[in-house]
Structure 1
């Protein structure tokens, strides 16, 4: 993990497959998944979530061709290439969906507390 340390990170969401952290110091999110750690700006993290959700799981499961066993995702503005099996896709979906819900909840709480203070 370059130019940051784990003590500067706030855990957003965790599953057995990975973790999403927020780094306010660098205004980014860190995704720890499948043995790798990658930094994302919020719009890039949401783009990854969108791309993962667009993967046709039914097609992956039913297609007997060897090329259907994995999906490769190359994302703009990141050096990481994701090579995902069907199980990886499911695990990454769960992790990214949970992180998004936690971020939305945090935003709602912030808005409510700010409204009460005014």
Structure 2
């Protein structure tokens, strides 16, 4: 099975730290605006997930969503969530930790595209 979203070991470690501090949360890949196109971690109730959002899967046991319009651009890529040093935007849960979730990507192979039925 092909995963649409993965996390590096650094991202998984930060996810565990945030889970121990805050409990349940979720990710949303924004499509621009205030935090540009960033991976943001939110507590329940901080952002409404709706019909315009696409569930890509879980990383570290945490659900990951992306806006429908952004998904249309990135549907042929696998998102790889990593961590970089910095403070990032003010919206995301990891802001005070001195690290920022960061999305990298790679284009799916033809075989993966067929398996995912993205044509």
- Whether these two folds match at TM > 0.5 is no
Higher strand share: 2
TM-score (norm: length of structure 2): 0.29
**Structure number with higher relative contact order (C-alpha < 8 Å, ≥ 6 residues apart):** 2
